[in-house]
Structure 1
Amino acid sequence: MLKHIFKQLWNRKRANIWIGVELLLVFCLLWYIVDYFFVLEYNKSLHSCRDMDHTWQVEVALLPPEHSEYQPGESDSTALEDNCYRLLDRIRGYKGVEALAVLSNWNTPGGGGYYGDWFRSRKDTTRSGRGQAILFDPRTDFFKVFRYTTKEGKPVSVDDFDWADPKSVIIGNMAKETFFPDGDAIGQILESPEKPDEWNFVVKGVVGDIKRFDYERPQLTFYRAWRATADNITEEMEIAVRSRESIPDELFLQDFKQAMSRELRVGNFYLKGVKSYNQINKDTDFEFGQTNSVRIRTAFLLFFLINIMLCVMGTFWYRIRMRRDEIGLRMAMGSTRTGIRKLLILEGLCLLAIASLPGMLIEIQLIYAGLIETIGKQNNQLVTYLPDHVVLRFILTNCLTWVLLAIAIVAAIWLPADKAAKMEPADALHYE
């Protein structure tokens, strides 16, 4: 049957050339979009050893001096620290709070802030790498709030590590493999390539890798001690809490705001707001243009699919009207209704197959021209991920593109093909 179909297409090459060109263009454009979503969804599927569900950013602020309730006696450094520790205790003691952490607001999980470190191994100075530094107060449990785990999935806590040394650092597993691939990282020294004598840290532990954003890959990460003091409380301190899973998020947010708006009125401190870290992550995606990028590509994807459906449907509807004599003859000679539908649908799929071959040649040129991006690729990555295998990625994304277009073509041809298949035998003989 396929040989016969290809002969039919060749005999009608003038009529087929325009729809073939459209299929070619749509195939290339759709592949570009499918490739983007393939990498995006692949990155999202990569495991991150932290959990931001049921976590909240509790924002506190100080009353300005001109405020009617401002207390000048509560503005010195001693009072600031005492009042800060008091409000932290009140948050920690709230019935719905499971864990609390204090961190630098440069390191908001899912946020746009970024504080980077550049280290090398003192043991082997040829091994260096850049990554995100996350600073938090070790007197609070940052790891428990965001449910950090080891690479093997074992939960970790701040108390699992020694923070007595002010130069303690905890590293992610990727950093461990980067700097100390041949041995234990505990006790090893990480130093700055620029100021090795001044800026160096002792590795005290290893935790699992995390992703800065859901759509990126795991990155090098360094966790260092940062203690809240009177000098940084007002400008840099961020409070993070984890609510108990047994309490719905909406209920926790409502009750916490209501209760803490009174409880956190300590000295000149007051509760400014509470926000979910998942919402912060979504807001950051929007600010960085990731949300719009996904929306635009989704709109183009739907546009191309609908466009090709309408084009193919109109073309085949016209063809069937012009080929009633042929269809009638086939039915008169014993072709079944199912056979007629199958013939017309296979014609459309064969057209797609013909158009996809030059389409893939054009795609290869786009790849070699460097026009295809790999989202979230790190410069110092050790792991080769699936999107890095260009040939395999090319095959998979073209298969996905072909399947999507095939579904659209079958859906578009089905109605005119079904109409042709339902032609009565008498009418078929009449057209012949």
Structure 2
Amino acid sequence: MKKKLLRQMLNEWRTNVWLALEFLVVSVVLWYICDYFYASMRTYFAPLGFEYDHCYELTMYDIPESSPEYRPEYAGDSAQAEARYEILRRLKQMPEIEAAAYSNNARPFNGSNSGFTMGYDSVSGNGLRRFVTPDFPIIYRYRGVNGESPEELARQLEEGKVLLSDNFFSASSRDPRPSVNELKATGKKFQLTEYTVDGEHPEASVGSAMVPARYDQFNTWSSFMMMDPCRDGFHSRKAIMYHNELTVRVRPEQDHDIAAKLMAAAPDYLHVGNNLLTNVSSLDDIRRNFQRSTTTQLRNYSAGMGFMMINIFLGLLGTFWFRTQQRVNEIAIRRVNGATRSGIFGRLIGEGVLLLALVTPLAVAADCMLTHYDICAYYGAHHSTALRIAVCAGTSFVLMALMVIAGIWFPARRAMRIEPAQALSIDN
């Protein structure tokens, strides 16, 4: 059967060459669409490395000196810093609050970034710099790669240790450099060469390697360092003045109208020094707003690619529908010579699917080239290349095969309802 199909296809090589060329172009385009959806969805649903449920950001307003509410006794960095620490203490005493922390360009879904570069032995790496107070890992449920709990990581921050994501020295999946855990860097000391305190570079000890935490749900960037700079030997307690974020984790059973409760406590209990609470935002709302433009872009791309897929489907459907209709006489002759309906269906469909299978290796070669040059990379997402090509190529083949079968099945079924004598008399 296969030899007969190949012989027939060779005899009709002029028609099949153009059809094969159409298959090749359509297969590559369809693979591109599948690759985009595969990469984007795999990126979106990959583990974030942190949790943001029951988390809230508190916006604090610095009362200016011109305001009648200004308290001059809290003037100066030291007094203002102590007022901020007092706010943290009061927040932690509230029965609804599990943890509270100040941070500088560190909370998730934040467009403000600070970078950090560090060398360890002969290896160097870089990532986001996250200056935080110790409760920060507890709020967002950061964990160590060896099972360290958020509370244990918080204790290490209190001890003045620097926490690095495990991929800090190998931020790319294509980077062969060892991870922090493989380097056994925990407990080793190094100099923070980017900073100077009293004319010298401060020393810091490396804490546990942390599970990488992604920038957001559409990005694979996940390398970072985390430390508490508000300590002797680095900055001082006054460094908390430069922390521009105040976030809390609310106990799940207490997460009911928490924004209203906090705002009710703002005028007195949480009004310390010249700091006044003015707004409470959930991290879920912050996430939605931060990713809104990317979500809109993805939705527009999806709509455009969906429209393209419909056109591809109609194009292939029309090609094989017309091709099968032109073979009504051939179908009639086969029926007269004793061919069964299933046999005719199998031959016609087999011819189309076999031609698609012959073209697919060439299409996969083109797909590999596109992948190699990252032409289809989604937001810099470098997923497993072999799996990515296999899944998308397999999906493209199945979709095209279904289009071919649909384009042959319906007109062939209609043609076989026509009596052979009547079909032979039709002028094609």
Structure 1 length-normalised TM: 0.77
Q: Does residue 149 of structure 2 align to residue 155 of structure 1?
A: yes
CA contact (8 A) 1:33 1:297 kept: no
Q: Which runs of 5+ in 2 are unaligned?
A: 170-177, 231-235
Q: Contact (CA 8 Å) 1:44, 1:214: kept in 2 or not?
A: yes
Aligned residue among 377, 398, 408 for 1:403: 398
For residues 405-425 of structure 1, give each alpha carbon's deviation from its aligned partner in whole angstroms, at most 9, with x where no partner exists.
33344445444344345x15x
What do the CA deviations read for 1:177-198 (whole angstroms, capped 9, x no partner)? Answer: 5467454x33311334677951
Aligned to 1:431: 423
Q: CA RMSD in A?
A: 3.7
- Decide whether the 8 Å contact of 2:48 with 2:216 is kept in 1: no
Displacement, 1:225? 0.3
**Cα 1:332–1:56, aligned 2, differ >3 Å: closer, same or farther?**
farther
Q: Distance in 2 between matches of 1:34 and 1:211?
A: 24
- The amino acid of 2:127's aligned partner reads G
SS at match of 1:108: coil
Report the equivalent of 2:114.
Answer: 115
SS at match of 1:149: coil
Q: Which amino acid aligns with 2:114?
A: Y
Aligned match of 1:239: 246
Deviation at 1:310, TM superposition (A): 0.7
1:145-165 deviations in whole A, cap 9, x for unaligned? 111222244522157534565
Q: Distance in 2 between matches of 1:45 and 1:62?
A: 39
Q: For the residues of structure 1 that align with 2:338 and 2:250, how far apart are their CA atoms?
A: 71
- What amino acid sits opposite 2:286 in the alignment? I
For 1:62-211, what aligned pairs fall within 5 Å after superposition? Answer: 62-63=62-63, 70-73=69-72, 76-77=75-76, 80-81=80-81, 84-85=84-85, 87-89=87-89, 91-104=91-104, 106-121=105-120, 124=121, 126-138=122-134, 141-157=135-151, 161-163=155-157, 166=160, 168-175=161-168, 177-178=178-179, 181-183=182-184, 185-192=185-192, 197-211=200-214
What displacement does 1:97 show?
Answer: 3.5
Structure 1 range deviating more: 277-286 or 72-81: 72-81
Check conservation: 2:191, 2:203, Cα contact below 8 A.
Answer: yes
Give the 3 Å change call, closer, same or farther, for CA 86–297 of structure 1 in structure 2.
Answer: same
**Matched residue type, 1:137:** T
* Contact preservation (8 Å) 2:100, 2:139: yes
In structure 2, distance between residues paired with 1:182 and 1:45: 29
Q: In structure 2, what is the Cα distance between the partners aligned to 1:200 and 1:375?
A: 36
| Alignment check: 8 A CA contact 2:127 2:225 kept | yes
The offset of 1:118, in angstroms, is 1.0
Correspondent of 1:264 among 263, 266, 271: 266
Q: How far is 1:111 from its partner?
A: 1.7
Please tell me the residue identity of whatever aligns with 2:186.
I
Map of 1:223 onto structure 2: 226
**1:165-184 CA distance string (max 9 Å, x none):** 55x3122333485467454x
Q: Is the 8 A contact 2:55 2:282 kept in 1?
A: yes
Offset of residue 26 of structure 1: 2.1
Equivalents in 2 of 1:65, 1:408: separation in Å?
Answer: 72
Cα 1:391–1:355 change in 2 (3 A) is same
C-alpha displacement at 1:306, in angstroms? 1.1
- Matched residue type, 1:28: V
Which moved further from structure 2: 310-319 or 393-402? 393-402
Q: Is the contact made by 1:143 and 1:156 (CA closer than 8 Å) also made in structure 2? A: yes
Alignment-mate amino acid for residue 173 of structure 1: D
1:79-108 C-alpha deviation (Å, 9 max, x unpaired): 74565455445544555433322212x112
User: What does residue 286 of structure 2 align with?
Assistant: 280
| Range that drifts further, 367-376 or 147-156 | 367-376
What is the match of residue 213 of structure 1? 216
Contact 1:34 1:400 in 2 (8 A): yes
- Unaligned 5+ residue runs, structure 1? 378-384
User: What is the 5 A alignment of 1:22-61?
Assistant: 22-44=22-44, 46-61=46-61
Provide the residue aligned with 1:380 in structure 2: none
- Say which SS state the counterpart of residue 174 (structure 1) adopts: coil
One-letter code of the match for 1:109?
A: P
Distance 1:80 1:363 in 2: 59
**Percent of pairs identical after alignment?**
24
Counterpart code for 2:109: G
CA distance in 1, matches of 2:281, 2:412: 55
Q: How many residues align?
A: 403
Q: Counterpart amino acid of 2:411?
A: P
Q: Which amino acid aligns with 1:102?
A: Y
1:358 and 2:362 correspond: yes
TM score, norm. by length of structure 2: 0.77
Contact 1:35–1:397 (8 Å) recurs in 2 = yes
How far off is 1:25 after superposition? 1.8
Q: Which residue identity does 1:264 align to in structure 2?
A: A
Give the letter for the 2:103 counterpart. Answer: L
